Amino acid sequence: GAADTAACLATIRQIYTTHGYLLDPHSAVGVRVAQSFLDPEEPMICLATAHPAKFSSAIQQAIGRDLARHELLENLTSLPTRRTLLPATVSALRSFMEPRML
């Protein structure tokens, strides 16, 4: 299934109004599609795929204000941008990633 922008925003608004839960746009698509296939009387569990703070513009459009805040995301904007250019090879990516993995 799929949901366009208007349906996504409507779902964010509906879930926030009904349940007090703020969906991110990606999760809203999943909820919207699930709602279209399921009997409304049947329970539904959807797992969120992102934090709504990443999508403050969409949240503002959906509910009329930006309630999506996350301290760690807000702190990221003050950090310097870091990047490492790598050759487009699996071995270069592996050599870069392996020492940095947990």
pLDDT tens digits, 6-62: 999 999 999 999 999 999 999 999 999 999 998 888 888 888 888 888 898 999 999
The SS3 of residue 93 is helix
Contacting residues for 91 by C-beta, under 8 A, at least 6 apart? none
Q: What integer pLDDT is reported at residue 77 of this predicted model? A: 74
Q: What integer pLDDT is reported at residue 84 of this predicted model? A: 92
Q: Model-level pTM? A: 0.67
Say if CB 22 and CB 58 are below 8 A apart: no
Mean pLDDT calculated for residue range 64-91: 82
